[in-house]
Amino acid sequence: MSKTKNTKSLILRRKDKSKLEANLYFCKFGDIDEILALQDKVHSAMAKKEWFANTSRTELESAFERKYPAVAVESSKKTVAFAYLILSPDNSQSLCQYADFDIKPYFGNDCVLDTVFVDPDYVGYGIQSLLIDFLTNLAFENGKTSVWATVHPDNIFSSQNFIKCGFVKANSKPVEKHGGLRDVFFYRRLNTKQQ
């Protein structure tokens, strides 16, 4: 992937104390093929394929055209994780509305953490939580009042990471984009006390 001036160096550690030197950076339109290749690797390695809803090339192209923030983690010149944030969801993308969440202050200024995935060889370094936190803080900096995400109900690993990052469960219902499979909706309310 192509790096920009906005590269942030990271040193991550697993519980077994193994160290990973990595970089976090903003992705560009030209990175789509590499992002999709990583997504295919992640999906192929999953024992339970229904836990992961692939993002299509069209969805990624639309995200980059709309200049939604997309970030990746690279280690040893290899992309090991990716995530992006839908900062201005239209009605079809607003998980806040789709979840039937009925608290008015959240409506109209929410955003969606659409996808977060990590190369299975790099699980355990806290990369998913790092990306969730990074994009949540970016949403806050952009004046958003809440961040939404969906997780398959059996995917306790991702659910735990969202909870660890301050998200709470809002609702659970089938998601059309995910083939009608039931997902758990998580949200995090953002306010001036966040940071």
Q: What is the reported pLDDT for 139?
A: 93
∠ CA 86-55-63, rounded to 5°? 35
- Percent of the chain, pLDDT > 70? 79
The domain ranges of the chain are 8-189
What is the overall mean pLDDT for the chain? 83
**Strand partners of residue 27:** none
pLDDT in tens, 151-161: 888 889 999 99
User: Left if phi > 0, otherwise alpha if psi is -120 to 50, otherwise beta: which for 76?
Assistant: left
Please give the pLDDT value at position 89: 60
Asked if the 8-189 domain carries CATH number 3.40.630.30, the reply is yes
Question: Could you tell me the pLDDT band of residue 26, with boundaries at 50, 70 and 90?
Answer: very high
Q: What is the pLDDT of residues 133-176, one digit of tens each?
A: 999 999 999 988 889 888 888 889 999 999 999 999 887 766 55
Q: Angle formed by the axes of helices 127-141 and 156-164, to 10°?
A: 50
State the pLDDT at residue 110: 81
Q: pLDDT tens digits for 183-193?
A: 788 889 887 45
Q: What is the pLDDT of residue 51?
A: 82
Do residues 20 and 11 make contact, with C-beta atoms less than 8 angstroms apart?
A: yes
pLDDT tens-digit map of 4-13: 446 889 999 9
Give percent of the chain with pLDDT exceeding 90: 49
Q: Which of 19-33, 44-58, 127-141 has the lowest mean pLDDT?
A: 44-58
Q: Distance (Å, rounded) from C-alpha 177 to C-alpha 154?
A: 18
Please state the pTM of the whole predicted model. Answer: 0.85
SS3 labels along the chain: CCCCCCCEEEEEECCCCCEEEEEEEECCHHHHHHHHHHHHHHHHHCCCHHHCCCCCHHHHHHHHHCCCCEEEEEECCEEEEEEEEECCCCCCCCHHHHCCCCCHHHCCCEEEEEEEEECHHHCCCCHHHHHHHHHHHHHHHCCCCEEEEEECCCCHHHHHHHHHCCCEEEEEEEEHHHCCEEEEEEEEECCCCCC
